[in-house]
Structure formats: structure tokens, C-alpha cells
Structure 1
Amino acid sequence: MAEVLLPDADGTLTATRLAEPAALVTASSPPTSRAVYAAAHVVADPLRACVPAGLDQIDWDATLELRRRLWSLGLGVAESMDTAQRGMGLDWAGAKELALRTLAEARSCGGDVVVGIATDQIDSATTTLAQIRDAYLEQVDAIEGAGGAVVMMASRHLARAATGPDDYLRVYDAVLSHARNPVILHWLGTDFDPALAGYWGFDEPKAAMRSVIELIAAHPDTVRGIKVSLLDPALEVQLREQVPAPSRVFTGDDYNYADLIAGDGTRHSEALLGAFAAIPRFASAAFARLDRGDVDGFRAILDPTVPLSRLVFTAPTQYYKVGVAWLTYLDGGQDHFRMIAGFETGRSLLHLAELVRTAGQLGLFTDPDRAAARAGGYFAAQGIG
């Protein structure tokens, strides 16, 4: 059994054993019981990962290989989302290039992709609703023109410019009326992005539900569903009970996804999660069970992953991408632990050590010896051990 010395809060080092890889029977075909997307991260070029933006910070071969891995496990890819550091190191130019490359790669291997669109090409902090609308439309056209379907991400510009719910409905109505392919809306909470406070024109998310449902009902042929990332499972359950068919709720709740996806026997959530980029083998194996109607088997595989996901997404939640990249590095999915714009500095060494402990107990690492060597080597390079 592989062993690694990890730092504790008091500065001492404790030997931690990493379990053998979990015995999982994965699938290679997309799940039939649920729509499933993993929001994939971006692998940086370690020699150039430094300043925000800049396409030369991305290792394109390694980034696309991560997407091929997800497709090989039957998972769809949610591209150019916040997991890919959208708005936190990756600007619209980078997100567009990433999306176009991923869409082209998906066509070559039959992978499923949805692509995030936003308003991040706007430079000014002060913008009009018309500018925000036009920014969304530019991005819709770019992705649909390449054969893609979009996730309409929440806009920081709209959160600043809107004076009430009618302003949100006006912008969203224009974009949904323009889109040619079904769109997934995205309701992102302040745990993920504090700049989105008051989204939809209401301080409390529960108060915004009626406005959201009204918007979806007005576009039954365009809105495929809505991704909900509020970390409030009761609100998500309430929303999915009221969302008009055929639209569906896609959970983005990285704290409670097992319960929400399993459902209550009547309704369930689909999946669009950053967590699945960190645990793709577990997700693939769990949905293979669910496709056979084995809910208990699904829960037996996925429930034990929730504590790891909650640790990855612990506050400040927007730094969860660090955990995704760290675990991917330890498991051999990339050759280094550097992120675009130096984003890896957003988590402490103690946090990284706890991720190793928790993932190691789960049997996440397909090669525990490699994971131990990489973790030990990284901490040693920081003067630990």
C-alpha cells in the first residue's frame, strides 16, 4: 500500500496510506437514465501560466486529452464553464478557442458537449442592457455557428446593470428568441461568484423562482433546462417540481448531487457538475448501475464521493478548480500542478494535504504509488518534509 508524509495543522508530518483503486465497472456509452455532463478544467502550460487571459497559457493537447477521457467514460463535457476558470483567468477569446477545439474533437469521436456563453467580452464595468444582450448574442452565434449547443451562464454585467426582474427577463427573452438550438440556463449562487448577488432581480433565490419559471414557460421549445448551482437542495427540489415540461433541472449542487440525481421516485435532477471532473470513474460506474435500475448500487458508488466533493468545494467555493486540478495531477491526468493565472495559489497546502487523505481513503487514485510520489514531491518542493 502506498504511503506519503502529509503536513498537519501543527506543522508535523503524518504518514498516510493511500488505498488501492476502487473496483469500479465503468461504461463507455452515455447514460440512458440521466443527462450527464462533467464541467472540465483547463490544463495550463507550466512554462507560461502566470497572468490572466493569454491563449499561450493553455496546454491544448493535455486539455483535450482530459475531455477525451471523460467521453471514453460515457460522460458529456460542459465546456468553457467556471470550472475552466471562465472569468478567473480565461477570457472570452480563450473560452471561444477552447470551445471550438472541443467541438471539433467531439465530432471526431462522437462526444457530447454543451458550451457556456456569457458577456465577458465587455470591457467596461458600466454597461447598458443592449450591450449585454448583444454580447450574449455574439457568443451564441459563435458557438451555434460551430455546431454547438449553449449553456447561458449568469452575467456579472447583468447583475450590475439590472434594476429589477423585468430587465433580466428582457435580456434573456432576446437571447432565447434568437438561439437556434435548445439552451440550458444557468443559475449560479453567490457561493461560487459573489458578484452575482441579487440575480434575477431578487435578494433571495426563493423569491426569484416565479420569475425563472415564467421565463422558462415563455420559451418551451428553446429552454432545454436550467442548471442550478445554489447549494440549496430544498430549493432545487421545489424548482424541479414547478419547472414546466419538457424543461428539466440540471443539478450543479456539488454538496448534495447523489440525493438530487437519485431523486424521490417521482422526480430527479439531471447532472452538470464540476465534481464529476474530479471523480469521473465513480460517476461513470454509478450511472451504469442507475441505467440498470439499480438505485442502491448507484448510491453505493456515488454517496462515498460526496465528502471529497464537499472538501473540494469548501469556502471560498470559487477555488474548487484548484482541487480538481490537484487531484487530476495526482492521478496522472496531467504532468504538473500549475493553473492559468497562477490560480493554484488560492488553496493552502493544508487543504491540498486533506484532499490527498480523503481521496486516498476513497480509492480515487488509479496508481496510488504515483499519487504518493507526486504529492510527496510537491510538498517537499515547498519545504515540507
Structure 2
Amino acid sequence: MPRPKSKRKERKCLVCGGVTRVAHMGMDVCRACTVFYRRSKGKMYICRSNTRNCKIGEECRQCRLDRLSRIALNGSKAEESDGSQEDRQCNAIFQTLHSPGSQIQPYEGTPMIAKMSERYRVMCETRLTSELSCRFEPPHPLRININDYPIFPASYDTVNRANRIFLTTLLQFGAAIFPEFATFNERDQWTTVTNFFCRFRTFEAAYRANKMFPTEMEKGFQGYTLYFSEDVVDHFYDDCPNSGDMNEAKRVMRGRFKSNLGPHRESIRKINHRHEEFLASLALMFWMTDGLDVSSAVSAVSERYKETILRELHNYYRDQLHLHDYASRLGEVLMFLQTYEQRAGDMDKHLELLRLLNVYSDDTIAYRLTNI
């Protein structure tokens, strides 16, 4: 007896152009491409046209891998329609590979970036467990997993706690990656880290939001496990111990949210940092000490590490991505970092306004960081 024909509609694979009746990775991707991605993770091929932009169907393995990486990076979490165990395992690999704490495969040309990857993951895990464990009703320990964890609406008190945790982990992060940092006096350590905090917090929040909320551009992060959106504003100050002008504070916060969050997330999405570029950007941000009141020893170490990271970025583009003309891409990544000088200044003004409204007090950690 002949088997009845499947009623599933045939679709074209977004990666290879072949026909597929089953959506993988939450999108129209065929099984062959899904398996290819799983087997090729961590590998590097040679682009047939040397452009990294071959057309779909031209059988270029590198461009096929690039397209799959972009699909996985966009964070689609839809379940596969056939529900097979193999596909569920494959999808779990995608989510782990591209989570904010992803590990970078060791490569002799980028040892600092690889070290950044390892320590960044440790920092993510520490922030995750600390933020969730100090909640009034913490989730079950089985729910505290780096690849699957609850995210709560932000509030005044929870953000203040998250910032304290973040600062502690940043001090540990700096000492673990840069041995010289641990030898600085406390004043130089604090000045370097607090300067880094203001830039890193904004950059990482948008970077992670683009992965966790790829289709919700109105959402952002205020902590590792705290999200922020316009509907959060009305109850943000419910746990604030101060008795300031909360209505005006909410109006200011809502206006800043509308004018800043969407454009900032869109600018990061447009650049679409690879994880290696994200990590290199963190290292360069850490050592943005120009104009700071620090010792000459800090300035000297800063210049040395910036040179090291720039050299590793050159190695990454040339030897790992096999790009011969990467000057424009490198310039784009470096120029983007300059925008955080202005963003840090804008944040100072915003926090000062909230303090004048008696919403933020002198002991609010975010305000103290901008007024050292």
C-alpha cells in the first residue's frame, strides 16, 4: 500500500536553497544544513570567491557556515516542527554556542581574547547566581543555569543590588585577566573599574538584549537577570526607600527610554559584533584611561594592553577569518567605541537629575559611580 504524501508545505532552505518540509532552528533551514552546522562549529573554511558573500546555492562551505551562524546568533528559540531528539540536541548546541558567555576556541594568535572569553563566562555565571540568589523569593537552584534562567522586570532596589554585584565581579575580572591590575593601589583599581563600568554596562546590555530579545526592540537589560521596558517604568520605584518626585522621575525615565534604547540596540545590531569582536571591545574599554586621574604606571599598562588587543584583532581578521581587506571593519568596530564617551556623559546628567528629584540618593551605587 503506497504511503500517503505528506501534507507539509515544501519550502526553500534559507541557507542552501534546497527544498525542506521541516523547519529547523525555528526557521526554514533544512536538516542537511543543520547537521553541517553542528559538525562545522569551530572550523574555518576558505571562501570560494574570497568575499564571504557568495550567493545561496554556490556550494561555498564558509558562506554556508556564515549564514547558519547568523541565524543561530539571532537567537530563534522556536521549537522544531518534527520534534526529533537529534534536532532538539542540535538546537541546544546553537543556544549554548551563542550564549553571552560562549567560550572562544583557543587560537595561538589571540590568547588574550581567549582568556577574555573564559573570564567573561565566569563573570556571567557569578552575576547570574548572585542576582537570582539574593532575590526575596529566589528560583529553585535547578533554574539557575547559564543557558536557561528566569529574567525579571527591573526595579530600583534590584538594579542597585545588581550594580554592586557587577562592580565586585569587574574587580575580579580585571585582576584575573590583567596581572598588573592586581598590583595597582586601591584608588587606581577603583578609578579604572568604575570608568569601565559605565561603558561596559551600556554596551553589554544592548549586546545581550539583541540575542535574548531579537524581535522585541523595546526591551533592554538593567542587570544580568533584569529586563527593562516601558511597561516596567510604572512600578520601577515601588521599592525605592526615598520620597522624591516619583511621577516626574517616571516621566524622565520614559522619555529617556524612548529616545535611547531602540536606537542604541539598532546601532549594535547593524554592526553585528562577532563574539571575538565583542570581547576585544571589552578589553579596549577596560583600558580607556586617557584623561583619568591615575598613576603613570596605569597609563603605561593601558597602552601596552591596547596594543596587544589591536594586534590580536589583526590576527583574528587575517588568520581566522581570512580577510585580506579588513581595515574598514576594524575601523567600524573601533569608531563605535568612541560613542560611549558621549553615552557616559549623558548617563551622568540623567542620574544627577534623578538625584535632584530626590529619587536617587548619594548612596545609590549608580549615582556614586558617576560622582567619585
> Would you say same fold, with TM above 0.5?
no
The structure with the largest alpha-carbon Rg is 2
Larger relative helix fraction: 2
Q: TM-score, normalised by structure 1?
A: 0.26
Larger relative strand fraction: 1
Q: TM-score, normalised by structure 2?
A: 0.27
